[in-house]
Amino acid sequence: MAEDPRSARLRLLDATEEMLREVGMAGTGIKDVVARSGTPIGSLYHYFPDGKTQLVGESLQIHADKSRRLLGHFFDGKRTAAAALRLLFNTAADEFERAGAYKGCAVGAVALDLMPQDTVLREICRRTFDDWAALIAPRLPFSSERARHASAVTIVAALEGAFVIAKGAQSGDPFREVGEWLAATMPSARRRRR
């Protein structure tokens, strides 16, 4: 029975996304992706003729889209901003620990590995961080658009920073601490009405 060619492509993308989360772009080698995916190396160049940049770019976009949907789940307007922050950061802590306390965010990991010539990947990272902030900002209880935007960027930066610190500590506690602090900075609805 012939292998489904689409499944080989998806396996390559999945393997790349996982490796980006574990070792960043610099540590994600073509041979390692092929070995992890269980596909022949010819499949990689068939589906990704532009090589590693194309493979990383598509994998990164998949990760960015998943992350955006996940953020949308937390900041869906059904809970206060403080509750959304606590839930987001506590869930991140739990998932980080459940996965072995070594996987980061693929977007953050790639952003740290970017070289000046990586314009396509840089644009994916920039757009992703901007999209996340734009999704969060309207759900924050600040009176000005500028304050909501600045706070949303701070939340995105805090989430990415928590991944870095948590990997160093091999613990989800940095997520929990940051999430609790950010939640405490949210003005309550009662204070806003005054």
Q: What kind and span of H or E run contains 88? A: helix 81-98
For the domain covering 57-193, report its CATH number.
1.10.357.10
Crossing angle for the helix pair 119-136 and 145-169, nearest 10 degrees?
120
186, 141 Cβ separation under 8 angstroms: yes
User: Please, how many CA atoms are within 13 Å of residue 172, restricted to the half-sphere of its CB?
Assistant: 18
Whether the predicted pLDDT of 188 surpasses 80: no
Render pLDDT for 2-18 as a digit per residue (tens, 0 to 9). Answer: 555 558 999 999 999 99
Q: Which two tokens stand for residue 3?
A: 């292998």
Q: 102 by DSSP, 3-state: which?
A: coil
Render pLDDT for 36-92 as a digit per residue (tens, 0 to 9). Answer: 999 999 989 999 999 999 999 999 999 999 999 999 999 999 999 999 999 999 999
